[in-house]
Structure 1
Amino acid sequence: MEDKMGITEYLPQKIRSEAEKYMTYGLEEIRVRAGKQVEYIFADHICRGIYIGRNDIEEMINYLSDYSFHAISQQLLAGFFTVEGGHRVGIAGQTGCGQKGITSVTDIASLNIRIARQIKGVAMPFMRHIRDGDSIYNTFIVSKPGDGKTTLLRDCIRILSDGGDGKRRLKVAVVDERSEIGACFHGVAQNDLGASSDVMDNCPKAYGMRMLLRSMSPDVIAVDELGGEDDLCAVNQIINCGIHILGTLHGRDMDDIDMKKLPGGIGRFVFIEKNKKGERQYSIYDKDCRLLHSAVWNCGNYKCMEMQEKPGNTSA
């Protein structure tokens, strides 16, 4: 697969050609640790490359930050930062702490680059279960980190915003706190989020949801990785105002969701589970925990295979 977002340009010259070779085969993550071999993570296996030193990591950070470490210093306090193209770079190193938590991150010794790719069409088989007439059910997409929540969310936004499923276009307002959904550059989304979408980039989720509610008169507000109490309070406010929510959460199954203090009015839960082969199992439940749809999608090489639907109650 072509490296359209130029992630390999951020790598030291000594591993760039190695990484470019692996991009062709559906590379998902690049893990770099000082004094250890580079790890190239795929859906179903790991390849190891050359050894990397601390100077190589410093060189990478210079590239990733466009030689402005100060520009990413606030993001680093959260343990990661996002670069052009929506690629998320996780970090580990030395931290400084104060009364209000982490105040600085220095001596970075590990990087985890999660490669962002837009996969169009992945959400289409599920839209009939998410749609409620010309609108949608309030929907949460749930999985463990790295199993594909953001990929599915992004495609749902595109389809709803374009009316790509043959139904009315919806005005979708997107809160993209980590710049992973739209991959905005100078405020313009680089990923295709459809014709009727508006993006609030690099904005805390709770603030962004409330701002977009007042400013953009949306039909749907979409947001990634909800979790904090203020996030869920804002979701409840959105629903009470008659606006529909399309969001993602970390979790495993319905039992896990039952333990979270979620707002009422959520009509659909989409669970994603990735197996050792890189296949994603998608299961859609209604508000009463009834299974509506279950399917397996194989995207090991980012070539969409035919959906194989399993028996289940398909009534809404």
Structure 2
Amino acid sequence: MASVRLVKGEHTFPDPGQAPARVTDPLASLKELLPPAITAALENLPGGVRASLEEIRLRRERPLQVRWSGSEGWVTAGGLLTPKPDLAYRVTAGDLGRTIEALTRSSLYALEEELRSGYITVSGGHRVGLVGEAVVSRGEVRTLKNFAGLNLRLARAVPGCARSLITCLLEGGRPLHTLLLSPPRCGKTTILRDIIRLFSSGVPELQFTGVNVGVVDERSEIAGCWLGVPQLDVGPRTDVLDRCPRAAGMLMLLRAMGPEVIATDEIGRPEELAALQDILNAGVTVLASVHAGSLEELKCRPGWGELLDQGFWQRLVLLGRTLGPGTIEAVFTGDNRVLRQGPWRGEGRL
């Protein structure tokens, strides 16, 4: 990887006392969280890297690492990317402590429930994974202490990335039951979010006016809610149930909000599969995703073979990385016939 001299740009930062406006600069809402030395280095990243940042990793007394679309590297104190970790800026205990204090607003107790899950969602919809010493009581993790590092995963919408796919997911002016299958790091949540946006907003050129969508966002990854308000564009007709278990949330939305589509991410627990049956009988369309590298792999998982054989899903979309993150490898009908063979990608870079 060649070293690149970084160029500083102009940025507008939100008032830290208010929920942030949607911004195109992925670092804009993070300035108040990160130490000055790390902020300065990250602000100087090359434009293409900065615009496609996915992760910022801070490990105590170890080099600063970033990941962006299709690559990763180490960041020096002077603002260079380097392939050598020993040349990178070394994150101090003070850097990590300051960041965690800003993340928790000096109150670890107030965020105990989130820490039990190993992550915190912050303004802008970004998600911060944390590692350290687990505090265990009666066999259950209660919280974390003595933090050793964090991974800041940047929430980033890519409007249009599902536009070329949407024609396969509509029939008779109505969305079809759709399941996205994807290995890790293939853009699954980003594509799911854009399908939700399109179902909610409508697609005029397809004479589709849009429908009410209910989203169960158990891990705050789809809509990136901050204080209950989506920070990422999920469409004007979308209602989000944030940080709610999927099975309970799907039934809550069904009973309370009258959605025409219910969407959620990474489905798979037995109680979630059971909830799908209730939604099917209620005439509501389901849009969901699951970790799987193929239909054959998914069929081998408990509960999934029977669900697939029932023909519940009308469309199965296989994602991959053939053309990079966000590649649509194939679209199948409910009886496993190939409807459209890939690979192809939508608009925008994931």
From 47, 71, 96, the counterpart of 2:73 = 47
Bigger proportion of residues as strand = 1
After TM superposition, give the deviation of residue 112 of structure 1 in Å: 1.1
The reply on whether 1:287 has 2:316 as its aligned counterpart is no
Give the letter for the 1:133 counterpart. Answer: G
In the alignment, the residues of structure 1 paired with residue 172 and residue 259 of structure 2 have an alpha-carbon distance, to the nearest angstrom, of 17
Q: Unmatched 5+ residue regions in structure 1? A: 305-316
The change in CA–CA distance for 1:4 and 1:92 in structure 2 (over 3 A counts) is closer
User: Pick from 201, 208, 211: which aligns with 2:252?
Assistant: 211
Partner of 1:32: 58
Matched letter for residue 315 of structure 2: R
Q: C-alpha deviations, 1:211-253, integer Å up to 9, x for none?
A: 0000011110011121222222212221122111101111111
The offset of 1:93, in angstroms, is 1.2
Q: Which moved more, 1:282-291 or 1:117-126?
A: 282-291
| CA RMSD of superposed structures (Å) | 2.1
Q: CA deviation at 1:281?
A: 4.1
Note the C-alpha offset of 1:5: 5.3
Q: Distance in 2 between matches of 1:66 and 1:297?
A: 40
Give aligned pairs, total. 302
The C-alpha deviation readout for 1:91-142, integer Å capped at 9, x for no partner, is 2211122335212211121211111111101111011111122212211112
After the TM superposition, list the runs of 4 or more consecutive aligned residues in structure 1 that deviate by more than 4 angstroms: 275-279
CA-CA distance at 1:14 after TM superposition: 1.1
Name which of 283, 287, 290 aligns with 1:249: 290
Partner of 2:35: 12
Deviation string for 1:10-47 (max 9, x for gaps)? 21111102122337321111111112101111222222
Shift of 1:7: 2.5
1:308: which partner in 2?
Answer: none
Q: Which moved more, 1:16-25 or 1:247-256?
A: 16-25
Partner SS state of residue 22, structure 1: coil
TM-score by length of 2: 0.80
CA distance in 1, matches of 2:66, 2:94: 20
Hey, what's the Cα distance between the residues in 2 that align with 1:21 and 1:282? 35
With the length of structure 1 as denominator, give the TM-score of the two structures. Answer: 0.88
Counterpart of 2:108? Answer: 69
The counterpart of 2:271, out of the listed 220, 230, 251, is 230
- Structure 1 residues 1-316: aligned runs within 5 Å: 2-3=25-26, 6-22=29-45, 24=47, 25=49, 26-49=52-75, 50-164=89-203, 165-260=206-301, 261-262=303-304, 263=307, 264=310, 265-275=312-322, 278=325, 280-293=327-340, 294-297=342-345, 303=349
Cα contact 1:184–1:201 (8 A) shared by 2: yes
